[in-house]
Structure 1
């Protein structure tokens, strides 16, 4: 039975074993995301008999229109491994299980719209609302300070324009407007650097406090975007570089895959 499974070709010339593995892998990976527009998996294994020992030459996944943890939209994601050891018995059972950890080259593309949607996610808003940091409450007579509105515009040369409002919990909203440069730090953090505060559109009476609150928001954001907080179970993303391109933010790096997670 197994010999036939790994030797029989379909009319397109694809080995039935590879075809089954592609199907199982696609179904498994699709379940990692809350939603997905498309998920495609390509497995290369030659000779196909190596599947019986759970050995494949490469594993490539590409997806579009993905949503992670209900609120984090990914325009495109792709990764490709070198040789991978899998449990072939799990494939026959409709699952995909790794025999040992592996690494994959990865690329993730976020859209400007997706980034702004993420700023409304609970995981993000809880770090921006009702803050009691001493540097902030000193400006609001000891009351918690919030940043209820944060909007990002992607700019060339790895820069972002951040438009926001600060709520001092006294009925006064302070407009914030700045440009920052983003960079990769320690392969897992997105760092917000070199803030340029724009005060032209801020009323003169609010300019000093707007400047102070802008610097505080940059510091908060600089400590917020840590990929370890967004990892899928069993998968860690590590970054080598990032770049802005039009209305897209492109991350390149690799994924450390300990096991195939069951859900995202």
Structure 2
């Protein structure tokens, strides 16, 4: 749940204020957005409708949301998120019952900013951990003596030009963990998947006896990450996300794209 909503605005050319329908829509919209996140530092909602009488027919000119310090599914931190829809058609009767129901699918332009700290936090989440632990990797069977591999202590450093430096340890349950140090380039494939490409393995700080294994494990981890971040696995019910652009900027990873909203999800 939100720690609180810092701003809730209705944009209207009528200086006398909003009527009961407008106030009700603002309240319902804020409650709906509130339940999409585990918590937040701030969220601002703005509904544009002119003339306001169009609300009775369920017509809204646009809907905007911006927030910061958001947490999705308790583990995935988003530093900033914003979206703006085009014209929206809603069931005004649903508003009267305290819900927000769309009459037809709508589009929203979206922007999401992740911090380096938030990305590293996500690697500790249960959803990500289960994809990195006790893995059977055919290429490593001979080297590992048949032991399963777990990748732990993953840390990401954001670099210019859409590059990431990745530090990790590989645990084969048969000796000292093997250090991993590599740089990858991130991009977008098919507008829905974040790719991890062109891995460059760095072995200078790896003991000579572990370098062959570190190189093999680094390539295996890069392949796992390349197949991990698919938006179709993380979509909210009724919302399809697509990406147009990705870029690193300082300690931030910035995504821009759009959302196709078929229905308003109940929770995030």
TM range (shorter): over 0.9
By how many angstroms is 1:257 displaced?
0.6
Q: Partner residue of 1:55?
A: 59
Aligned 1:80-159 pairs, distance under 5 A:
80-159=84-163
Aligned to 2:31: 27
- Structure 2 counterparts to residues 200-219 of structure 1, below 5 A: 200-219=204-223
Cα distance in structure 2, aligned partners of 1:38 and 1:93:
26
* Mapping 1:155-174, distance limit 5 Å: 155-174=159-178
Once the two structures are TM-superposed, the CA of residue 172 in structure 1 deviates from its matched residue by 1.9
Please tell me whether the aligned partners of residues 9 and 15 of structure 1 are also in contact (alpha carbons under 8 angstroms).
Answer: no
Aligned equivalents of 1:103 and 1:42: distance in 2?
Answer: 16
Question: In structure 2, how many angstroms separate the alpha carbons of the residues matched to 1:247 and 1:18?
Answer: 40
Gaps of 5+ in 1: 1-7
Structure 2 portions without partners, runs of 5+: 1-11
Provide the aligned length of Structure 1 versus Structure 2. Answer: 257
Alignment RMSD, CA only?
Answer: 1.6
Give the C-alpha shift of residue 206 in structure 1.
1.0
Shift of 1:15: 4.8
Quick one: distance in 2 between partners of 1:82 and 1:206?
55
- Mapped partners of 2:71, 2:170: distance in 1: 29
For residue 259 of structure 1, the aligned residue among 243, 246, 263 is: 263
Residues 3-35 of structure 1: CA deviation (Å, up to 9, x unaligned): xxxxx9987634543332122101111101111
The alpha-carbon distance between structure 1 residues 252 and 9, as it changes in their structure 2 partners (threshold 3 A), is: closer
Partner of 2:41: 37
Question: Structure 1 length as normaliser, TM-score?
Answer: 0.93
Structure 2 SS opposite 1:96:
coil
C-alpha distance in 1, partners of 2:15/2:192? 45
Cross-structure match for 2:254: 250
Q: Structure 1 CA distance, aligned partners of 2:202 and 2:100?
A: 52
